Amino acid sequence: MRGYQGSTARVLGIITLVVTAVLGSAYLLGRSLVPDPPRHGSAVTVTGADHPQYADQSAPAEPDPGRDHPTESPPAEVPEAPGQDPNFGPMGTRLSTGTNEIALTFDDGPHPDYTPQVLAILREYHVTATFCVVGQNAQSYPWLVQQIVAEGHTLCNHSWNHDVGLGARSPERIRDDLLRTSAAIHAAAPEAPVTWYRQPGGAWTYPVISASRELGMTPLHWNLDPSDWRAPGAATIAAVVLAEARAGSIVLLHDAGGDRQGTVDALYHILPELTARFDLHALPNHGT
């Protein structure tokens, strides 16, 4: 009887092992057929030792307090509230020059390859612009910050490392980021006013707007985006700008954050026509 019980126990044990193995194999097979969820990293991806590339300007992000993502996904264009001054967005972001002039703005630089080309073209057409600089890049290329200022352009704070989620951080962290960026700019150009702030990705929140205003900077948005950050090519960038430009337009362009040769080349098509139709000037250094 005991031998019978022992044999039964062994048989049951073998069956258990077989079932466990089969179930385990089925799980692994099923898991291998399910794609891994996307990994959410920083808004900055490194493409070279010295040249960071920034994420999609309008890409929504998901909550992750330890990473560079906002906790909300605001629209790329801040909508105008009914009856509101069309020069300003609902949170007070500047959407228009408020004049018949057009303002070209260049984000994410300075960059040693593209910014000098942009400056040369602007110089050729006697146009001044507004450069929204990233603190890390200002620190890395101070001579370009100095050249921007020397040629009569306006500077704008664009956060330390293009943190799209900065507006979801604590007030202390937001303030420290903006102060650190302005300090890097002033280390290169001590006398240069920094009276504008542009949130990366246009991901505005009330805390980041409040912090920028407390530090004497006006939140700067845009009302014409040719999506040059997607690198669609010079012809497409130029066609959009020339078709949509209006008196008061604030045009969003980029001189860093990726391959910006298309933007550089587009300027040779944009500037001859725009300068014939409008006055193009940098935004004023006093903000609004």
Q: Is 105 helix (H, G, I), strand (E, B) or coil?
A: strand
The class (CATH top level) of 44-277 is alpha beta
Catalytic residues: 107, 254
| Range ranked top by mean pLDDT from 48-62, 89-103, 117-131 | 117-131
- DSSP 3-state assignment of 78? coil
Mean pLDDT of 131-145: 98
Mean pLDDT score of the chain, rounded to an integer? 81
- Per-residue pLDDT averaged across 60-86, rounded? 42
Give the residue extent of every domain in the chain: 1-34, 44-277
> Do 238 and 270 contact (CB within 8 A), yes or no?
yes
Enter the pTM of the model: 0.76
Q: 10: pLDDT confidence band, cut at 50, 70 and 90?
A: low
Contact 170, 187 (CB under 8 A): no
What pLDDT is stored for residue 7 in this prediction?
52
pLDDT score, position 67: 30
- Main-chain phi, psi angles of 28, to 5 degrees: -65, -40
Give me the mean pLDDT over the 113-139 stretch: 98
Range of weakest confidence among 79-88, 131-140, 261-270: 79-88
Mean pLDDT of the 261-284 span = 98
Bridge-based pairing of strands 250-254 and 44-46 is: unpaired
Q: Give the Cα separation of 190 and 187 in Å (integer).
A: 6
Dig out the tokens for 116 from the structure. Answer: 């000098």
pLDDT of residue 139: 98
For residue 250, give the 3-state DSSP assignment.
strand
pLDDT tens track for 225-252? 999 999 999 999 999 999 999 999 999 9
**What pLDDT score does 170 carry?**
97
pLDDT digits (tens, 9 = 90+) for 170-216: 999 999 999 999 999 999 999 999 999 999 999 999 999 999 999 99
Provide Rg for the chain, Cα atoms. Answer: 26
Predicted confidence (pLDDT) per residue in 96-112, tens digit: 999 999 999 999 999 99
Question: For residues 60 and 51, which has the higher predicted lDDT (pLDDT)?
Answer: 51
Rounded to whole angstroms, how far apart are CA atoms 124 and 115? 14
Alpha helix stretches (DSSP H) within the chain: 2-33, 115-124, 135-140, 142-150, 171-188, 206-214, 234-244, 261-277
Tens of pLDDT, residue by residue over 12-52, are 444 444 444 433 443 333 333 333 333 333 344 434 445 56
Query: What pLDDT sits at residue 57?
Result: 52
Q: Which amino acid is at 9?
A: A
